[in-house]
Chain A
Amino acid sequence: AILMTQSPSSLSASVGDTVTITCRASQGIRNNLGWYQQKPGKAPKFLIYGESNLQDGVPSRFSGSGSGTDFTLTISSLQPEDFATYYCLQDYNFPLTFGPGTKVDIK
């Protein structure tokens, strides 16, 4: 199975900050990478597919980049509703595997 790692595991930021989350795959996964946001007690919400394409309705302050093994999620001008845990998910092959998550909380 492809192992996904994320860094940092958590970070503290202020409203208006720009934050970057990194996701790394244990082998090349082309651009088969998505990002999901989860708030406490809620189901995950799909944000980005194909490593850089925003799902309809996702604010443009979210962006993704990367390919191969290294990927980033950037949130520009962090808003109060963005404080959550973010997961990457590889769909290059089965079993699909999530990263361990990055919790973004308020400084």
Chain B
Amino acid sequence: QVQLVESGGGVVQPGRSLRLSCAASGFMFSTYGMHWVRQAPGKGLEWVAVLSYDGTNQNYADSVKGRFTISRDNSKNRVYLEMDSLRPEDTAVYYCAREDYSSGNFAADHWGQGTLVSVSS
């Protein structure tokens, strides 16, 4: 079955960097786009970034553009989120999600359990 497992979260000081990882299994990872979505404590969902199946196309939320970089290693079935110049407002649970277009419409059809990033001095 499809599984997504995030890791790499933790407590980090403002201005520092952190890299999140999402390990995928149970499907042909190299044929799916992947997304990161975050949720600040007690708040709603915020889309963060997407990377195409082959790593050639990416898009970011304005709030993270220029600071965050999404990448993937299809040989390892992993997608990453490199977060630089972290701010307190980046504190959130970060989820990775698989993108599916098999129906002809977009679906974030499988999600990981999330990893918590806390930016604090």
Q: Which residues of A contact B (CB under 8 A)?
A: 1, 31-32, 34, 36, 38, 43-46, 49-50, 53, 55, 87, 89, 91, 94-101
The reply to whether the CB of B11 lies closer than 8 angstroms to some CB of chain A is no
Contact B109 A55 (CB under 8 A): yes
B59 to chain A: closest residue by CB: A94
Number of A-B contacts (CB under 8 A): 64
Separation of A34 and B105 alpha carbons in the complex (Å): 9
Q: Which residues of B contact A (CB under 8 A)?
A: 35, 37, 44-47, 50, 59-62, 95, 103-114
**Closest chain A CB from B34 CB (angstroms):** 13
Contact B107 A49 (CB under 8 A): yes
Which secondary structure characterizes the binding site on chain A?
A: loop
Contact A49 B103 (CB under 8 A): yes
Contact of B111 among A1, A34, A44, A55 (CB under 8 A): A44
Contact of A53 among B35, B50, B105 (CB under 8 A): B105
Separation of A19 and B50 alpha carbons in the complex (Å): 33
Contacts of B46 in A (CB 8 A): 98
